[in-house]
Amino acid sequence: MNSPPFPSTLPTPDPVPVRPVDLSRAAAQALGGAPDGASAFDSSLSDFSSHSGTDLSALSSFSPSLMQDLMRFERLSDQRELIEVLAACVRHTQAVAVRLAWDGHELTLTVFPQQRLVHCPMAMDQFLSTELAALRVLRVLPAALRPPGDLALARVGNPAFYAPLAPLLWAVALRGARSELLPELSGPAAFRVAPALHLGGLSLPAAMEDCINWLRQRSVNAREVADWHGIGRERASRLLNALYLQSGLIVSRTHPAATNEGWGGYR
């Protein structure tokens, strides 16, 4: 049997920012290291800081669990994908600023998961019409802007630049660079669409709409999703990622349909 998937990380309950040394020690312990292993994590954190173009004082405002998630993708690949950063941001409900580059252009997306908003300095429709698979994450920083209605009015951006977060999450999942399941969904699992999920206003191909209606009625594994008419493995992975980012996916590791790596057949 294959090794179990990377366990899902959970937001830490303490919202109080920690100093860099405390962040390093807490995250080292979260990664399974002993307290005296904090120095090794300090080195990894410095490497992450250098690669991201970010100083440690800025990173210290991230919760240790969010920092752990971001560093996990840093270790797995030379280049973090936008969907990975968005997934971590949404999972830990912490606002972040993501500096992106593509085709000679750069901009910063500021994501507010609690308010389900995103700030983009260009029309969101225009941004989503770009080649999303070509986006490169240059750096990830704590959000400098605040959402509309925040008391710190001086830090609230142009209201015209704020847009709902759902279309961005949906488009990046379906058309972004990642074509495999997010780590939180890989391994033995059965999936079902939450009854209350509302996808109004999102671009939804007919085959995927039929598949989603089917997933509202039963729990199935990833192979069964891939076998649905007109889906296939890559579109199944993208669809499940998209549903997860919309908080509309029920994931069970104990259901009889949950199979190894999500692709073995269940009979």
Concatenating the DSSP letter of every residue in 136-165 gives: EEEEEEE--SB-TT-S-GGGB--GGGEEEH
Give the model confidence (pLDDT) of 107-128 as tens digits: 999 999 999 999 999 999 999 9
Quote the pLDDT of residue 260. Answer: 56
Residues in the chain: 267
Q: What is the mean pLDDT of the chain?
A: 77
Nearest 5°: the CA angle 153, 164, 85 is: 90
Between 39 and 232, the more confident residue is 232
Task: Report the relative pairing of strands 117-119 and 136-142 from DSSP bridges.
Answer: unpaired
Give the model's pLDDT for residue 167. 95
Q: Is the domain covering 183-262 a CATH 1.10.10 domain? A: yes
Residue 168 has pLDDT above 50, yes or no: yes
Residue 51 pLDDT: 46
What's the pLDDT score for residue 12? 43
Between 203 and 37, the more confident residue is 203
**pLDDT, tens digit (0-9, with 9 covering 90-100), for 205-217:** 888 889 999 999 9
Helix, strand, coil % in the chain, rounded to nearest 5 = 45, 15, 40
158, two tokens:
């142009």
Please name which of 229, 254, 244 lies closest in space to residue 194, comparing C-alpha atoms: 244
What is the tens place of the pLDDT at every residue in 13-26? 444 333 333 334 44
How high is the pLDDT of residue 207? Answer: 84
Residue of higher predicted confidence among 82 and 68 = 82
Q: At how many degrees (to 10) do helices 206-215 and 232-245 cross? A: 60
| 86, 120, 149, 167, 225 from 156: Cα distances, Å | 21, 13, 8, 21, 42
Residue 114 has a pLDDT of 94
pLDDT band per the 50, 70, 90 thresholds, residue 266: very low
For residue 205, the model assigns a pLDDT of 83
26-76 tens-digit pLDDT:
433 333 343 443 444 344 444 444 444 444 445 556 777 788 777 765 554
Q: Does the pLDDT at position 241 exceed 90?
A: yes
pLDDT given for residue 69 in this prediction:
75
Of 152, 153, 246, residue with least CA distance to 204: 246
Q: Identify the residue with better confidence: 38 or 229.
A: 229
Q: How far apart are CA 127 and CA 138, in angstroms?
A: 17
pLDDT digits (tens, 9 = 90+) for 173-201: 999 999 999 988 988 999 999 988 988 88
pLDDT at 49: 46
**Nearest to residue 68, comparing CAs of 13, 111, 9?**
9
- Beta bridge pairs of residue 193: 249
**Which pLDDT does position 46 carry in this prediction?**
44
Domain ranges of the chain: 8-78, 81-86+93-178, 183-262
Query: For residue 230, what pLDDT is reported?
Result: 78
